[in-house]
Structure 1
């Protein structure tokens, strides 16, 4: 965790959020975002791959890379962030923050020799909503290679904390919300955050839980497609419109990212991802991920 550099991840936000990235209105900007993700994965020493996906007449790539597992390479944990935005919003929080955490995870864990494999990916077409075609294309491609996906997390808005939350949101916790069946996943991330993240007045740690699929807010991002493929899935979020006034607005800019909160979120994503690939919670000498889902 000493290798995590939140300043480097914040620089990703600044680069990605230079302009809106709506597939129909800003096709060049959204393609530039995909190219940036690809170049950063290559720079991390990984091989970037692309899966072309067409939605509403626009073709954009899923950009992904793999850190091969040392003990059970056919078992894989998946971490994603989406690089598209709604029209008119530069999307610093939604979701350059998630992509930045994904890229920092790739940089830090590229040489970490995890037990199970780790796939990191930047996805388009999240803002169009269900059925999240890019996420589904990635999941189907991985399962088509006869891999077992042991879990998936969508990093979906990691940059905003408020002194006083709206509604029931306490305002300073990262929410790790999964479908029923993902209890081990969300607890692993919560424990990783408790172990590795520092304390500050703008970082309240991780609040984790699982919910039935009919719960209204649980299906709001790319993890839905993986859940529908039978994978334990969750999303990490700052609460979106329950918390931030900049949600889907032109004001979703890098200067409105709350840096201490974002730093805690990035460390949570990196440490939780590595724990999902290598944790031996039962002490039997084999990573839990290598034993199955």
Structure 2
């Protein structure tokens, strides 16, 4: 086992000397540089040539076709017809599965498609009769570490004002044809490539009645011991126009829960005791997505929101969080609630209600798909997030000693750090193929993480250390 110490006698990296202020004004000028520490300013990871080419294949016209086809089935309410070939959620399910199977046919056997079906009992006020609910899942098997899994999803069921109305038209263009279009378009583009880890592309149902399909999917995977290291939920990602008519076409919100509902009370107390409330695996996944997903390739800015979801709302990421998996939700920056959960109608003032295709922005939707695509591929091509990371607190010292478990996929490791009040990692230190590093910066003054680096240059999300 190799160790690395950033200590002065070895001539390695130490904290830079702090300039000596001579007045209060000079103190203020230096405030943004505190705490001083080793390493270089973190430069965001950029997509490589293969990933850049893949993202160029994402086609707004194909996204438009997916959404328009889903809308053409009339209603996709979870309880709607499952045997009519042209109308209802069954027709939508079959069409999605056929499309996914077409993508799989181009994969050389790496992609398989499953229609995962279960019988949902009655749920008061939500499900009126026992109902079959189906998730359509395309799985692109990893070539290096197939047991490490990343998921992208949208839900293909839809609703109107009354969630139990399974008769009237329920277009569901934005909510959530747009999210299904993200998952399907990424499945099409990535099917011909070889990710190192496994990627699952899911269109789930029963979301509007309480995330029923995604709960079944999450429980099935968790009960099988699946190693899911990231789940990206896309729900209402198809419009850049707010209810006042203003547009915001280059921002996408990403909701990231803090202390997880799946943590035990003891773990939460331990986390709070070291000031790690903002360093959960979900927040680390979010930081990673911001870093790799906000660039000229995606033409998007990912806006990380410190909240599980919007007020009074929920989504398909939450069942995965409940089973201990890091998961986030993407939603457009400014929602128009006249276009969600509404009967299709025009009121006395001439205002149009309903989730109609005419309100979608397919170029925006394609950019959201690129954010997801860059994040998924970067996750799958990098080594997994380091395991077993701890901070040595056995003695009082102004140094910080980190220890972690080696990963055979990793060519090396980097220590990242930031001031405790900063939202994102700001500095990085290359430490090589080691499992221990001592940094000349006090653990009392900064937040630390360790990320794995692959031989291909892809870097994992950072792990945050608990105390030994």
Q: Which TM-score applies when normalising by structure 1?
A: 0.85
Give the match for residue 92 of structure 1. Answer: 173
In 2, Cα distance between the equivalents of 1:62 and 1:198?
28
| Contact 1:175/1:238 (<8 A) preserved | yes
Q: Indicate yes or no: 2:255 matched with 1:177.
A: yes
Match of 1:137 in 2: 216
Q: 1:3 to 1:260 in 2, by over 3 A?
A: closer
Q: Deviations over 1:48-102 (max 9, x none)?
A: 1122122331102111121111221111011111110013420000001100110
Cα separation, 1, equivalents of 2:99 and 2:89: 16
**Higher relative helix content:** 1
Deviation for aligned residue 1:12: 0.4
Q: 1:220 aligns with which of 307, 311, 314?
A: 314
**Structure 1 residues 216 and 164: CA distance shift in structure 2, 3 A:** closer
The aligned counterpart of 2:328 is: 234
Partner of 1:270: 373
SS of corresponding position for 1:86: coil
Let me know the Cα RMSD of the aligned residues: 2.8
1:259 Cα deviation from its structure 2 partner: 2.6
Aligned to 1:24: 79
**Unaligned stretches of 5+ residues in structure 2:** 1-54, 105-110, 121-126, 161-168, 259-279, 345-353, 384-450
Distance 2:80 2:116 in 1: 22
1:246 aligns to what?
Answer: 339
Give the equivalent residue in structure 2 for 1:146: 225
Displacement of 1:267: 1.4
Match of 2:118 among 32, 49, 53: 53
Cα deviation, residue 11, structure 1: 0.7
For residues 195-235 of structure 1, what are the alpha-carbon distances to aligned partners after superposition, in whole Å with 9 as ceiling and x for unaligned?
35454xxxx63211333x5x763961011100000000111
Look up the SS of the partner of 2:61 in the other structure: helix
Shift of 1:277: 1.4
Q: Which residue of structure 1 lines up, in the alignment, with residue 295 of structure 2?
A: 195
Contact 1:63–1:123 (CA under 8 A) maintained in structure 2: yes
Shift of the alpha carbon at 1:25? 4.1
Q: What is aligned with 1:124?
A: 205
Contact 2:243 2:337 in 1 (8 A): no
- SS of residue matched to 1:70: coil
The SS at the match of 1:141 is: helix
Residues 197/217 of structure 1: CA separation in 2 closer, same or farther (3 Å cut): farther
Q: CA deviation at 1:245?
A: 3.1
Structure 1 239/125 Cα, relative in aligned 2: closer, same or farther at 3 Å?
Answer: farther
Match of 1:11 among 41, 65, 68: 65
Contact kept in structure 2, 1:178 and 1:218, CA below 8 Å: no
Does 1:80 pair with 2:163?
Answer: no
Cα contact 1:67–1:118 (8 A) shared by 2: yes
CA positional deviation for 1:284: 4.6
Report the CA distance between 1:152 and its aligned residue: 0.8
2:251 equivalent to 1:157: no
- For the structure 1 residues 217 and 110, does the alpha-carbon distance in structure 2 shift closer, same or farther, using more than 3 Å as the test? farther
Are the counterparts in 1 of residues 206 and 212 from structure 2 also a CA contact under 8 Å? yes
Give the direction of change, closer, same or farther, for the CA distance of 1:65–1:163 in structure 2 (3 Å limit).
closer
Report the alpha carbon displacement of residue 120 of structure 1 after superposing the two structures with TM.
Answer: 1.1
Structure 1 stretch displaced more, 139-148 or 250-259: 139-148
Q: Which moved more, 1:133-142 or 1:32-41?
A: 133-142
TM-score by length of 2: 0.55
Which residue number corresponds to residue 361 of structure 2? Answer: 258
Three-state SS of the structure 1 residue aligned to 2:339 is coil
Q: CA deviation at 1:112?
A: 2.1
Q: Work out whether 1:208 is the aligned partner of 2:304.
A: yes
How many residue pairs end up in the alignment?
Answer: 282
Q: CA deviation at 1:290?
A: 10
Q: Distance in 2 between matches of 1:194 and 1:100?
A: 20
Structure whose CA Rg is larger: 2
